[in-house]
Chain A
Amino acid sequence: MPYANEARAPLYQLKAAPGAMTRLALGSSLTIGTLICLPDAFALLPVVPDVLTWAVRLCGLWLTAIILWFLGFLGLLCLARAAMGPVIISEAGVKLWRLGKTIGWSSIRALGTEEQKLFARLFWLKRPVLRLTLYTGGQSGKLKTQFLPSFIFSSRQFGALVRYICQRVTGTSPRSAHVLLFSSPADLDLLKQLCCRSQRARLLLSIVIAVGLTVFLGRKAVVNYNFNDGSRAFRQADYRTARQRYALATQLEPTFAAAWDQLARCEFRLGENQAAEIHWRKALALKPDLAEAKLGLSFLYMQRRQFGQARELIEQTVRLYPSHLPARVNLACLYLYTGRTTEGVALGERLLAEEPDNLRVRCVLAQGYLRLGRLEQAANTMAAQDRRALEPTSRPFYNLVTAEIELVRGNLEAADRLLLPLAGQFPGTAEALVDMAELRIAQSRYAEAEKLLARARAASPGNPWPGITAARLARKKGKKEQCLEELSAVLALNDEDVRALAACARLYYDLGLKDKAAELARRSLAVEPATPDALFVMGAGQEKSQ
């Protein structure tokens, strides 16, 4: 490449050495990894049962921090090396970085190297670690400083650079890299002043770094402690306390995706679905592949009967993590919600074979059996669960499914005992309210059933089941017109649940509208060939024609 000024044509270059950068990344990773783990040592306390668990987990976190810092910092150093370019030496002077000006040899009035003992000790670097300072100035008498650290070069490279500059500036070639050379004794006072100022600036910088580090580590300790304490409260089903802890963690660390997900989880369990949706979306914006947030949001959509959105989220998660059990449990739930019970049961059976201790799988499977009319299989599935091993967070779902089984068996007292606390604890969950209403109908307490159904409709306006239960209630009370109105309203919802279609078919059949019943039953059977209500309607129709 031709140079306009031949004197500026590069003679030599000095690139940062990969070995030196690796040593710096490794040394700094030991110190930084240890510092980062100090808050975790404290934050782990609420969630570990014994010292061994604490030590193993802390060790895992420490090694993780070291490896991540090492790779991340080395990557940054490589980027900086590529961006800054090499030190270029020409006849005109020395250029310290790509966008810097060439410092003319004649403008260098003095140069010196200082040892960075603290830096070397902190980052486990081979001593001496030096900093080259070039004092440059023109005729005005003012001196400017330019710095170059030795730790990104090999010691031989750096020594050669110092020697070369000394040779060009003062005509001497020092034996050591520890030098302070100046060309004019008149500059001595100015140099002393600059050195003092530089030392004060370094002291100030050290104080700022120390304060910043303390604040950073303290903040991290508070964030992690609150997150872990929130998780402890969540496991005990104390969702209000957990929500407070997670809210504090997200306030202090707004980019903490897992904390946003957990906060949304608490809000969902407390019935604050809008806030939960916002926070799950926030978690996904921060970490688009966070499976837990995708699954939480999908469950919320299932409850709102927005099955398209739920399906998309579940399928995304299943494609990303095909062996992730909760993703496949949610898929089984989706099958049940949309009335594709046979597929849900088949998947549930596979999942239970993979993880026989998973309570959620067991409950979903039992619900599936129940919806296919296989009461004994449902009861046996639930009976195989050790009641003592129930965790507080899983107990509501367990109680709901057990109550549904008792209700079908006709054990109304047992069902009442299980459902009453659920309806109080989750006032916004239509499923529990509808079951409770079914129970009240079975107990002939119709007024209470109506109130419960009104609450269920308000909680989930797109859900067909409160309407279907209201239609059953109207039929039981002998109000045919009201029953038909309810059924029309249910069909107008256009819900994807084919089991609801079958339930409507059964009601139309019972009301004597057999053609309408047969049409709905056929539509239901086209998707799910084993729905008991639809099979009954079609079976009864065929018997009659024979």
Chain B
Amino acid sequence: MKLTLSILKAATLVVAMTVGLGLLMAVVWGALDWMRCFPAPVPVLPDFLQTTSRYVPPAASAAGPLEGLAVAVMNWYNLTFIGATRFGSGLGGLAGAILALALVGSARARYPAVARVVAGLLGGAFIGGRLALMLGSFPRTFLWGTICGAVTGAAMLAASARESIPELPEAEADY
């Protein structure tokens, strides 16, 4: 039970930080793009209801259900994060995922090895997938990027469990 809770906590932390920072930076970047292109009208907010485009992207050839899922995820992302919000969401999401992984990796006492590996899988998958999207909307590249990212993330967080050396006791006052 305790282990399950730790896993849930670590996973929630990674997802919340990735999504939260991704959304925040999407809006920030939309606003910054509006300023950089002033007075031209540019989208500031992500298009969650997908009202801006009435166009459905051409169906990419999906070889199986996994590729079909990748296409659906990519289409949702591409339709939602329009204009500069796309870059912002990527930047924020990557920063959030890296920060969350760093937090989980450094708090060894709170997260056991399994929880760290799960967090590494989630955060790494997001990082790999988003980096693959920079190359284009290719389902196989996206899947490979996601898988490689997940494996790397999990391996890095698993390797972070090392013998701990005590910290140098801090001075009583600032210098």
Contacts and interface: CB of A to CB of B under 8 A. Distances in A.
Given A155-B175, A315-B58, A350-B55, A323 B82 contact: yes
B114 interface: no
A420 B56 CA distance: 40
A56 B40 CA distance: 12
Interface residues of B, number: 46
B82 A61 contact: no
Given A56-B38, A156-B173, A320 B136 contact: yes
A267 B96 CA distance: 42
Contact of A289 (B28, B52, B136): B136
Nearest to B28: A67
Contacts of A318: 55, 57-58
Main secondary structure of the interface of A (DSSP, over half): helix
B138 to A, nearest CB: 8
A14 B167 contact: yes
B35 A161 contact: no
Contact of A160 (B98, B102, B170): B170
Contacts of A354: 54
Given A88-B165, A322-B53, A159 B35 contact: no
Interface string B5-21: 00000000000000000
A158 B175 contact: yes
Given A60-B33, A319-B60, A319-B74, A53 B38 contact: yes
B55 A12 contact: no
Interface string B55-80: 11110100000000000001100110
Contact of A63 (B32, B43, B102, B166): B32
A328 B79 CA distance: 14
A289 B134 contact: yes
Contact of A64 (B32, B58, B169, B175): B32
Contacts of B175: 128, 130, 155-156, 158-159, 162, 176-177
B171 interface: yes
B136 to A, nearest CB: 5
B49 interface: no
Interface string A11-35: 1111100000000000000000000
Closest 9 CB pairs of A and B: A60-B35, A323-B53, A177-B175, A159-B175, A319-B137, A159-B171, A60-B36, A12-B168, A156-B170
Interface of B: 28, 32-39, 43, 47, 52-58, 60, 74-75, 78-79, 82, 86, 91, 95, 98, 102, 133-137, 163, 165-175
